[in-house]
DNA sequence: GGCTAAGCGAGACGGTACGTCCCGTCTTAGG
DNA sequence: CCTAAGACGGGACGTACCGTCTCGCTTAGCC
């Protein structure tokens, strides 16, 4: 548990004092969402969030240590569903679907938010740590399971480096998201996933 | 030519008045370098650069439109050599070497600088545009040539999407540079390049 | 009765519900005293009093309308004895003693507290009103009685302006307390009182 | 020279850099004056001064260390003339006039400003020090000269404590200014000065 | 060699946002 | 009802940089 998520600790024992206002929390997250869309991550200020949410800055600082923490919380809740793939009989097929889902996610409005967070993480160690812990780790654990299913099914060699395998699948996606050297368009969404799976297959077979 | 590189315009007509001080330019670039290493991109301020360089802020603003432009200029000069690969008889072999060079570059001190710039580019369109124009475009043009050589040699199908091909090779690198979910260590430097080439080969053969 | 002393209203009818905690009242007054000594009036906050007293802010606000009211209450209780002079046969002698007592009071630890209150009163009408009503009015009534005794004894003319007379005696004291242009030292404590009485005598005789 | 008056140092050598804007200085002092009249010293904020003056807070903080320093500067310039008395043949007469001038000053709009400053000085050592150094010291030096003239003329004994003498004259004034227990009205303005002089005379003769 | 025009340092300036502090009010639970 | 705890809206604090500006002083090439 790191600093960016302390507020999400839920102690079972009800703490004394006036309880945190859930309404207030929502207003802040909504305001953050709106400003994120309008101004982008680094151009939006905490003062603006407070202004728009109609809360005081102190209330924000009481619960979130930074702008990134707010955005992360908003993102986290909303992204879970986007990438969940119901396991099918073919692990390979599932991986293909996961790649497709990731492309769809990156192309949608959350794509820029994710890119912003990763961008900020380059100069703020806490944001990076939080992003890895809260978003990447569970995400990659899920992918790892799918790959391990494929290994058990004999599709992939048990000797493969699973981290490397995941990177083969998703690296080009992140690259396009972040570098924007080429569009993440319909052609990419159609053509890339099978290429990625093919690349993984050749790596994982001949290991 | 975009805003981040206006200063490099060299008018052939000799302007009147005192000429730009080259000494001053160097002091600023050096100061930027030092602060970049010490504080990181977004924590370093233009005021600090001016302070350290012993120049005035006005002088900086006269020649560079932003912090990123300064850093970009410093980076550009220093990176050229790192990635140049003398063409050999085997285009595939050259690509392999280029991947290796990129890993070495990313692992070195310039890695964090590049990551910082890409990070900032997420929220500053000008930086992004400049990075793509000045760094990525020439870089990818070079890679494209190597791939076209391979196509002409019959190694790769002429139907491949060259952008996608390049992404297959370098995507996982940028991913590790920017997400830092897994180390870019000796094992990676040793294992990844051949895997990348194999992936490209399978894509480019079966296209 | 003004706002700063509402809490001293004592309804004869026993109110329903939990009675006010006397312990709590003492803890707050003690904490106020301690912080007053440590930080001075305007640097001490109500939050700090609550923290130190181990009470909640709400409890303080329920009983006192302001910081000054707390301090006033603490001061009032403690100062009564300092200035009471048992009437002797000579009203003039009594006045002399009262001046001496005031100097002693101002030189002691309560001197700075009184100065702080008068200082705050310059920008807070309520504090000023409360200070005058609760402290100055009874104090000056007492002095007035002593002077009237002297008038009845024929020492002073019955035509004198008693307020002016009191000011002649105490003005220089307050001036030194508040301006601190010159020390209120042993020499002053020894030399000033007879001078003051002499000044009063010459005014009150030749009126 | 203390911290509250550093800005008034006038180096003969013109300093480098953009010169201080006199216009800006005036706008700030005027804004301070207006707010002082409208809201009183402690209710006026530096933010409000900046807002009204149309300057930035940084500009204020660059030149004045505190609210009090601003007010002091505004006061200082405006008060000089109010208390200057052209020496006449009678030193005693001059003292009488000086007392009258002080009463007039205290009754006017500057009276509340002076009271505010003295009030703040009770909890801010720097303000007190500045007030004493910049206002009281020159003021009392002037009074001291008048008294010394009277001593040389044989009116007063050479043994008197001049500080005490000044306090006898002005103490009651400050007391009424600060305690407001009795009005500083026409009657006081008419009656007090001769009483004060008489008191001083009896002290200074029988010393 | 003096003129002129830009470069340059220094640093003031209007702004904006920062993160903190305390205010006085409120909303809980528990005594 | 009283109290402890502490969340809340509000607003000022003093600081840090931003990018622009106004000065006086170089420092060249050109007349």
Q: What is the DSSP string of chain D?
A: --GGGGGG---SSPPSSSPP-HHHHHHHHHHHHHHHHHH-TTT--HHHHHHHHT--HHHHHHH-SSHHHHHHHHHHHHHHHHH-----S-HHHHHHHHHHHHHHHHHSHHHHHHHHHHHHHTT-HHHHHHIIIIIIHHHHHHHHHHHHHHHHTTSS-TTS-HHHHHHHHHHHHHHHHHH-SS---HHHHHHHHHHHHHHHHHHHH--
Q: Which of A39, A114, A120, A122 to mutate to test the interface with B (most CBs of B within 10 A)?
A: A122
C164: distance to nearest CA of chain D, Å?
8
Residue C84 and residue A30: Cα distance in Å, rounded? 66
Query: Looking at residue C85, what is its pLDDT?
Result: 82
CB pair distance less than 8 Å for D118 and C119: yes
Q: Tell me whether chains C and B touch (3+ CB pairs under 8 A).
A: no
Positions in chain F where some atom is under 7 Å from a protein CB: 1-24, 26-30
CB B57 within 8 Å of CB B46: yes
User: What residues in C contact D192, CB-CB < 8 Å?
Assistant: 164
CB pair distance less than 8 Å for A123 and B123: no
What is the share, in percent, of chain B residues with pLDDT greater than 70?
92
CB pair distance less than 8 Å for B136 and A171: no
Q: Is D172 on the interface with C (CB under 8 A)?
A: yes
In sequence order, what DSSP letters do the residues of A68-118 get, joined into one string? HHHHHHHHHHHHHHHH-----S-HHHHHHHHHHHHHHHHHSHHHHHHHHHH
CB pair distance less than 8 Å for D119 and C118: yes
Give Cα A50 distance to the centre of its chain.
25
Check whether D5 has a pLDDT greater than 90. Answer: no
What is the share, in percent, of chain D residues with pLDDT greater than 90?
74
CB pairs under 8 A between A and B: 136
Which residues from the 61-80 window of protein chain C have CB within 7 angstroms of nucleic acid chain E? 61, 66-67
Residue A35 and residue A37: Cα distance in Å, rounded? 5
Going by pLDDT thresholds of 50, 70 and 90, the confidence category of residue B16 is confident
pTM: 0.84
Segment among B41-50, B159-168, C187-196, D117-126 with least mean pLDDT? D117-126
Going by pLDDT thresholds of 50, 70 and 90, the confidence category of residue B118 is very high
pLDDT digits (tens, 9 = 90+) for D54-86: 999 999 999 999 999 999 998 887 787 787 888
Which parts of chain A have pLDDT scores under 50?
1-11
Q: Residue D199: which of C119, C168, C180 has the nearest Cβ?
A: C168
Query: Looking at residue B14, what is its pLDDT?
Result: 60
Query: Looking at residue D3, what is its pLDDT?
Result: 42
Query: Looking at residue B4, what is its pLDDT?
Result: 45
Q: What is the mean pLDDT of residues D129-140?
A: 92
Query: Looking at residue A3, what is its pLDDT?
Result: 43
Query: Looking at residue C14, what is its pLDDT?
Result: 59
Q: Residue ranges of the alpha helices (H) in chain B?
A: 22-39, 46-53, 57-63, 67-83, 91-107, 109-121, 125-130, 137-152, 162-179, 186-205
Residue C175 and residue A163: Cα distance in Å, rounded? 80
Going by pLDDT thresholds of 50, 70 and 90, the confidence category of residue D12 is low
Sign of CA dihedral D18, D24, D29, D31: negative
Check whether D1 has a pLDDT greater than 70. Answer: no
Going by pLDDT thresholds of 50, 70 and 90, the confidence category of residue B96 is very high
Q: Residue B172: which of A119, A167, A182 has the nearest Cβ?
A: A167
Nucleotide nearest to D50 (CA to C1'): E14
Query: Looking at residue C130, what is its pLDDT?
Result: 87
Query: Looking at residue D78, what is its pLDDT?
Result: 75
Q: What is the mean pLDDT of residues B56-64?
A: 95
Digitized pLDDT (tens) for each residue of chain C, 207 residues in all: 344 444 444 444 556 677 778 899 999 999 999 998 888 888 899 999 999 999 999 999 999 998 989 998 888 877 777 778 888 999 999 999 999 999 999 999 889 999 999 999 998 888 898 899 989 999 999 999 999 999 999 999 999 999 999 999 999 999 999 999 999 999 999 999 999 999 999 998 866
Query: Looking at residue A159, what is its pLDDT?
Result: 92
How high is the mean pLDDT of chain D? 90
pLDDT digits (tens, 9 = 90+) for C142-152: 999 999 999 99
């Amino acid at each position: 548990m790191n600093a960016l998520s302390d507020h999400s600790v839920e102690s079972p024992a009800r703490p004394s004092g006036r309880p945190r206002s859930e309404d207030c929390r929502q207003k802040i997250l909504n305001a953050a969402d709106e400003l994120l869309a309008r101004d982008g991550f680094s151009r939006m200020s905490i003062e603006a969030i407070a202004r728009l949410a109609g809360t005081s800055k102190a209330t924000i600082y009481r619960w979130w240590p930074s702008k990134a923490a707010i955005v992360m919380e908003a993102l986290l809740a909303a992204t879970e569903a986007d990438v969940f793939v119901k396991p099918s009989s073919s692990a390979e097929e599932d991986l293909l679907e996961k790649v497709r889902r990731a492309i769809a996610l990156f192309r949608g409005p959350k794509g820029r938010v994710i890119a912003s967070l990763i961008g900020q993480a380059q100069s703020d160690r806490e944001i990076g740590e939080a992003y890895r812990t809260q978003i990447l780790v569970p995400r990659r654990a899920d992918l790892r399971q799918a790959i391990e299913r494929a290994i058990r099914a004999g599709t992939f060699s048990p000797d493969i480096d699973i981290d490397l395998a995941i990177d083969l699948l998703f690296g080009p996606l992140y690259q396009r998201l972040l570098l924007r050297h080429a569009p993440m368009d319909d052609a990419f969404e159609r053509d890339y996933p099978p290429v990625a799976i093919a690349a993984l297959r050749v790596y994982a077979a001949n290991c």
